[in-house]
Amino acid sequence: MRIILLGAPGCGKGTQAAKICEKYDVPHISTGDIFRENIKNQTELGIKVKAIMDSGNLCPDDVTCELVKDRLSKPDCVNGYLLDGFPRNLFQATELEKFAAPDVVIDIQVNLDKIEKRITGRRSCPVCGGSFHIDFIGNTSICPTCGGELVIRKDDTPEVIKERLSVYASYTEPLIKYYADKGVIKVVDGDGSIDYVFEQICNILG
Ligand code: ADP
Ligand code: ZN
């Protein structure tokens, strides 16, 4: 099954993605994670995209599409994949159609008022890639999964969040209509608990 997760920053895509991949046994492909990994390892790509990511803007389409195309050609993707953070604009969506059109696109809808609180309370683990909220883990700097040192992502500050939300509204939100026209969109209510959101997703995926 080829699945795309859509939704505004802070809608819980990453959390749900991990649960979906475990249950349905498909690889989790997060372009944000791939970029962050490249920044951490100071690769050529990482150096190229760091300032863009820190400002909340989109990385260039050509490198992003190339990276996803390459990742989707790996053997673990033959039975499907879960894309998290890609496509993020219409250009990327039409490129994706050329090599691996999705079966289902799940749009996680959240109340925009809650997003800032969700993101500013987010703590990320650079070691295992986990992402947690202080409402659940408390005021700790230790990753509950692997014991690594938690950090606040550079783009999780109020100013950058504003920019990310604006980028989302301008470039990514139009994808909802794009996929609705193709008849593959499914909407879930992202405002409830993690389990409630996951239950709706399982009802869609079967
Ligand atoms: P979010 O928590 O906002 O969903 P991600 O981890 O998915 O964040 O992405 C973080 C940043 O990585 C984006 O703001 C953007 O700079 C870059 N990025 C991720 N995916 C893409 C993409 N498909 N196209 C362009 N830039 C991307
Ligand atoms: Zn960890």
Q: Give the chain's domains with CATH numbers.
A: 2-26+79-205 (3.40.50.300)
Query: Which residues place a Cβ less than 5 A from the ion ligand 2?
Result: 125, 127-128, 130, 143, 145-146, 148
CA distances, 95 to each of 64, 65, 163, 204 (Å): 11, 7, 25, 25
Looking at residue 117, its pLDDT comes to 84
Beta carbons of 50 and 36 less than 8 angstroms apart: no
Instruction: Establish whether residue 16 lines the binding site of ligand 1, counting it when its CB lies within 6 angstroms of any ligand atom.
Output: no
Give pTM, 2 decimals.
0.91
Beta carbons of 121 and 130 less than 8 angstroms apart: no
Q: 183 burial class (0-12, 13-18, 19+ CB within 10 angstroms)?
A: exposed
Could you give the CA distance from residue 204 to residue 186 in angstroms, rounded to a whole number? 7
Does the pLDDT at position 176 exceed 90?
Answer: yes
Cα(149) to centroid of ligand 2, in Å? 7
Could you give the CA distance from residue 63 to residue 96 in angstroms, rounded to a whole number? 13
pLDDT band at 112 (very low <50, low <70, confident <90, very high): confident
CA distances, 11 to each of 15, 58, 88, 122 (Å): 9, 18, 14, 12
Does the pLDDT at position 57 exceed 90?
Answer: yes
Highest averaged pLDDT of the listed ranges 38-42, 124-128, 156-160, 200-204: 200-204
Which residue(s) pair with 82 in the sheet?
3, 28
Tell me the residue length of the chain: 206
> Is position 88 annotated as part of the catalytic site?
yes
Question: What does the block give as tokens for 163?
Answer: 């920019």
CA distances, 19 to each of 57, 84, 122, 165 (Å): 27, 12, 18, 24
Does the pLDDT at position 109 exceed 90?
Answer: yes
pLDDT band at 118 (very low <50, low <70, confident <90, very high): confident
Q: Which ligand is nearest to the CA of 143?
A: 2
Q: How high does pLDDT run on average in the chain?
A: 95
